[in-house]
């Protein structure tokens, strides 16, 4: 048996509570300037658990645990496997791959109205976060479940992409993007869905933004809307500016730069074809203005992020570049939500027993309103 498994578990049981206590006291007693709220403890737990993990922990412990928990919620949903043969165009479009051959993509039909009509009903294709390395964080299912109460006629499909956790080169980036292309093409072309809405958080937000660019370049039917929740815009590059300016945010956010670094190591293939300066991967740092101009004219986009998240710098810069395109369909009032006091992926973490209370949270209400608008 792999020794790192019991070591990681012991760290979670014994070290994590101490770290949580330490960082909580630090916020309360040392950094009194920060507006302390109970939910900060949840963020500390998430961030420090990630910081205590080993690269192998994703494969051996975290993902099996998430799969097990998600199994309870997903037991009534239909899993579908899609076989997708990479075309020459794919290989040309994605210089990061030389050959992946056939790609199996897995999707989960989380919600599907009995008389679902792909021509008229909307369908959300959801991409989860977790740095490309973890499976769907179980609390995201609450978010999607509550969302579906408001839109009972909307189908919800969750993409269960291969994570980078195995450490195998073929499981690294851009496999996750190609599987997303496969899932999207399947829904758009084979299921004939006309009203597709892309949605994703963190690394999933990166996939949403990458897929939009990919579809434009390949001239495939576009989705009608896209929602990127705290998108991880630049997985391969951080500016010194953000590393110094946002160091303080690390104390109150649910992720840390050192946690992200672990994810970056995992997604980076050793292949010499890999180009970290791909605008499909480093969406802000390698911003492709021409493509985004077309996307904005065709797709209703919403980007949400929080004032207390370490990624706010790169997300704000991305939004700024979108704004500079000056497309009448994109403006700060309609297409961006900066959540005051919000953490990384805040909307997916809100726990509330009462549906109407849940729907009043600013980020949630903006997402609901955006799904509702024509
Ligand atoms: C995470 O762990 C690293 C060492 O592995 C440490 O340098 C860093 O300060 C930790 N980050 C936080 C936010 O505690
Ligand atoms: C769509 O269906 C065709 C014909 O059944 C199949 O060859 C193709 O692989 C499918 N495409 C996707 C993306 O599922
Ligand atoms: C939701 O309920 C909690 C607890 O009753 C309350 O503190 C919070 O302000 C409510 N949130 C909203 C957005 O109404
Ligand atoms: C009505 C409904 O589905 N409510 C769920 C919303 O999400 C919370 C967790 O945030 C669940 O506890 C509720 O069951």
pLDDT digits (tens, 9 = 90+) for 195-254: 999 999 999 999 999 999 999 999 899 999 999 999 999 999 888 888 887 777 888 999
The overall average pLDDT reported for the chain is 92
Expressed in angstroms and rounded, the spacing between residue 352 Cα and the centre of ligand 3 is 8
Expressed in angstroms and rounded, the spacing between residue 252 Cα and the centre of ligand 1 is 14
pLDDT at 295: 97
Per-residue pLDDT for 18 more than 80?
A: yes
d(CA 208, CA 205): 5
Alpha carbon separation from 86 to 111, 216, 250, 264, 280 (Å, rounded): 28, 17, 40, 25, 17
> Residue with the nearest Cα to atom 2 of ligand 4?
146
Task: State if residue 365 touches ligand 3 by the CB under 6 angstroms criterion.
Answer: no
Domain boundaries of the chain, sorted by first residue:
56-372
Residue 353 burial (C-beta neighbours within 10 Å; 0-12, 13-18, 19+):
exposed
pLDDT at 64: 95
Task: Categorise residue 351: left if φ over 0, alpha if ψ from -120 to 50, beta otherwise.
Answer: beta
As a whole number, mean pLDDT of residues 28-57 equals: 87
CB 16 within 8 A of CB 23: no
| Superfamily of chain region 56-372 | Alpha/Beta hydrolase fold, catalytic domain (3.40.50.1820)
CB 25 within 8 A of CB 38: no
As a whole number, mean pLDDT of residues 67-87 equals: 92
> Residue with the nearest Cα to atom 13 of ligand 1?
256
Expressed in angstroms and rounded, the spacing between residue 357 Cα and the centre of ligand 3 is 6
Pocket test for ligand 4, best of 39, 110, 350, 353 (most atoms within 8 A of CB): 353
Per-residue pLDDT for 132 more than 90?
A: yes
Query: Which atom of ligand 4 approaches the CA of 351 most closely?
Result: 10
Block residue for tokens 């810069």: 317
């Amino acid at each position: 048996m792999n020794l790192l498994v019991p070591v990681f578990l012991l760290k979670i049981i014994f070290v994590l509570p101490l770290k949580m206590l330490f960082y909580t006291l630090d916020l309360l007693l040392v950094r009194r300037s920060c507006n302390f709220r109970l939910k900060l403890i949840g963020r500390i737990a998430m961030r420090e658990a990630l910081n205590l993990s080993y690269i192998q922990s994703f494969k051996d412990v975290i993902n099996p645990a998430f799969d097990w928990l998600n199994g309870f919620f997903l037991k009534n949903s239909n899993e579908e496997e899609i076989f997708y043969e990479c075309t020459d165009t794919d290989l040309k479009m994605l210089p990061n791959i030389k050959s992946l051959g056939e790609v199996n993509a897995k999707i989960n039909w989380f919600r599907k109205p009995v008389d679902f009509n792909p021509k008229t009903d909307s369908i959300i294709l959801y991409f989860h976060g977790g740095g490309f390395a973890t499976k769907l964080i179980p609390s995201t299912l609450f978010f999607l479940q509550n969302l579906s109460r408001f839109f009972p006629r909307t189908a919800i499909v969750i993409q269960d992409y291969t994570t980078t956790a195995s450490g195998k080169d073929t499981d690294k980036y851009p496999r996750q993007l190609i599987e997303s292309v496969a899932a999207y093409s399947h829904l758009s072309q084979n299921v004939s869905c006309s009203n597709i809405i892309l949605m994703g958080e963190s690394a999933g937000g990166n996939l949403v933004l990458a897929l939009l660019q990919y579809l434009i370049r390949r001239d495939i039917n576009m989705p009608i809307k896209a929602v990127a929740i705290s998108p991880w815009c630049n997985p391969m590059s951080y500016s010194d500016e953000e590393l110094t300016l946002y160091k303080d945010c690390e104390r109150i956010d649910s992720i840390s730069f050192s946690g992200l670094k672990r994810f970056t190591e995992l997604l980076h293939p050793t292949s010499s074809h890999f180009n970290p300066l791909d605008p499909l991967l480093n969406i802000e740092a390698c911003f492709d203005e021409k493509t985004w101009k077309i996307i904005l004219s065709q797709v209703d986009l919403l980007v949400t992020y929080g004032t207390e998240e370490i990624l706010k710098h790169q997300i704000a810069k991305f939004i700024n570049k979108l704004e500079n395109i000056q497309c009448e369909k994109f403006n700060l009032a309609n297409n961006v939500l900066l959540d005051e006091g919000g953490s990384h992926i805040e909307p997916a973490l809100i726990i509330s027993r009462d549906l109407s209370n849940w729907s009043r949270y600013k980020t949630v209400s903006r997402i609901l309103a955006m799904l509702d608008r024509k």
